[in-house]
Structure 1
């Protein structure tokens, strides 16, 4: 229905006269369609309501082809009905004294329909243009905000790096390095979003997560750990996509840090599955399993994962499995069971 409301037969034409020709031709086609329907109707009830079908014809022609199409449809259909339907058929002569007034009244009414239909069309298109401009403005502001957010995170990370160099106590460098890494993770999530999706309102999750996993594979995973991915491509809101990206980054970083100690080889698998509008993100490794959980009981990483899941409107679950450790964020259990 929305596409039908925005339909305009002359929109694809550039030149003024080509638009005029398209609109006029559309009006003639509408009138010809009315003539065909009227001819079929006359087989059942000839000469009844000679001008009745003119009103919907000029209405549709005007709404989708501008006033020129309405006028063209009016002229053709009105002249045809007068000549072929109104008694006496195949003549512009009147057989009754009331016929001239009736023809004049029908003509005036049809013109009124054209005037109001054109006014409504212009108002509707003006409103749609205003809505589109406002939407484009909001998307531009959102993209600018995301760009500034990314830059601010990068600035904070740089300041933490400078502060770390000024601290002589080496035991304090580790927590600062963790803080810098997490801040850079936030910056990467917004940077990747802008790079992959531009100013689109919704985000295609497939390319976005693929890009983030490629970065993580290069930067965080040791060479002895193989990364496997299986990602369904759906579109989600930008806010949800950022939360998923941050969750993925944190979970993969934790697995790389704790699941494969002492150069242990293994596999890290990432699954993003969607069914019936519900989705689930799973990060699973075949590392040391429960030992990894003992490394960070109730730590900041777990709290961040819960916060990211809450931002995405999902729930966070983590724990050891038979052959390793699983971290999972899901919207609904029953939809993906």
Structure 2
């Protein structure tokens, strides 16, 4: 019903059609519609409730084309009921010379005026509420755009500071740690960029586009050339923001670890990132390589290492379960995610 009150035909059809023309058209149309319904009622029960259909017709006219259309509809409908319907009850029923007939018409006219007043008040209240809603949406969109712009700048500043510090560092371990931190910031920034591309749903990230862009950024940052290729196959999926960030951080850690440790002593290799929709709901993330496999200790993914602790923490945040398979032909890490 609220949506009906938002439809203002004089506004929608202007300036092509003047407002008064629209109001007359709607008033006549509603009155004629009431007359047609009255005709079918008369076939079953002639003359029953002669003024009953006046009120639905004038309410519709008022809601769609303001009180002027409601007044016109009421005038036509009351005249029709008086001159056409009541005449079947006898000549005196449709005569204003009888005090009863005068009182009857005055009551109907007063009831019609009250109904038009209430319908017009409702229409204006709905229009006012709709205008307030549109203003709030516009303000929110402006705020989100400003927030998005500031967050992008903040991420860029943090990444730039880490990169600058990395360039000044001389210790290889410090350089590697700063680069890892920069890539983690970049992973979060990528998820943030896709947060406002979630279509009609706010707070979700389109994982297909997100992972493709993230893998592209990782390939560039890790200086992967033709010798070691990074392939991403991600299906379209709408994932809540917080879980998407955690998934992106897991991909960042696993791809970085594979690029650094999986191809020691080899000239070529392949890292593959997959993201699939599961039947029945949920998703499956897979990161695999065809490298040398995981050594028992001392590697980034060995038990107790920082890389392992981070990946386990991100998996819990993503509400998923990790499975790792490793051997001489490579390593595959799978994250099962429930919807």
Q: TM-score range by the shorter chain?
A: 0.7 to 0.9
Aligned partner of residue 29 in structure 1, secondary structure: helix
* Cα distance change of structure 1 residues 64 and 258 upon mapping to structure 2, 3 Å threshold: farther
Residue 27 of structure 1 and its aligned partner are, at CA, apart by 2.8
- Conserved 8 A contact 1:8-1:64: yes
* CA–CA distance in structure 2, aligned partners of residues 179 and 69 of structure 1: 67
* CA–CA distance in structure 2, aligned partners of residues 229 and 2 of structure 1: 45
- Conserved 8 A contact 2:263-2:292: no
**Is residue 282 from structure 1 mapped to residue 289 from structure 2 by the alignment?**
no
* Cα distance change of structure 1 residues 229 and 90 upon mapping to structure 2, 3 Å threshold: farther
* Cα distance change of structure 1 residues 246 and 269 upon mapping to structure 2, 3 Å threshold: closer
* Cα distance change of structure 1 residues 26 and 157 upon mapping to structure 2, 3 Å threshold: same
- 1:327 aligns with 334
Residue 240 of structure 1 and its aligned partner are, at CA, apart by 5.4
- 2:274 aligns with 270
Bigger Cα Rg: 2
Aligned partner of residue 324 in structure 2, secondary structure: strand
- 1:315 aligns with 320
* CA–CA distance in structure 2, aligned partners of residues 192 and 74 of structure 1: 55
1:229 corresponds, among 214, 233, 236, to 233
Aligned partner of residue 18 in structure 2, secondary structure: helix
Gapped regions of structure 2 (runs ≥ 5): none
1:97 corresponds, among 96, 99, 119, to 99
1:122 corresponds, among 121, 124, 130, to 124
* Cα distance change of structure 1 residues 182 and 119 upon mapping to structure 2, 3 Å threshold: same
- Conserved 8 A contact 1:280-1:329: yes
* CA–CA distance in structure 2, aligned partners of residues 239 and 66 of structure 1: 48
Aligned partner of residue 140 in structure 1, secondary structure: helix
1:151 corresponds, among 150, 153, 175, to 153
Most deviating of 52-61 and 206-215: 206-215
Residue 293 of structure 1 and its aligned partner are, at CA, apart by 8.8
* CA–CA distance in structure 2, aligned partners of residues 193 and 254 of structure 1: 26
Residue 143 of structure 1 and its aligned partner are, at CA, apart by 3.0
* Cα distance change of structure 1 residues 218 and 181 upon mapping to structure 2, 3 Å threshold: closer
* Cα distance change of structure 1 residues 253 and 15 upon mapping to structure 2, 3 Å threshold: farther
Gapped regions of structure 1 (runs ≥ 5): 333-337
1:186-205 to 2 correspondences below 5 Å: 186-193=188-195, 196=197, 201=202, 203=204, 205=206
* CA–CA distance in structure 1, aligned partners of residues 253 and 52 of structure 2: 69
- Conserved 8 A contact 1:58-1:74: yes
* CA–CA distance in structure 2, aligned partners of residues 213 and 138 of structure 1: 32
* CA–CA distance in structure 2, aligned partners of residues 12 and 228 of structure 1: 48
**Is residue 67 from structure 1 mapped to residue 67 from structure 2 by the alignment?**
yes
Deviation digits for residues 65-96 of structure 1 (CA, Å, limit 9, x no counterpart): 32233223222222221221123579853485
Structure 1 length normalisation: TM-score? 0.79
Structure 2 length normalisation: TM-score? 0.79
- Conserved 8 A contact 1:288-1:324: yes
Two-structure CA RMSD over aligned residues (Å) = 3.6
Deviation digits for residues 38-77 of structure 1 (CA, Å, limit 9, x no counterpart): 1101111111111111112211222233223322322222
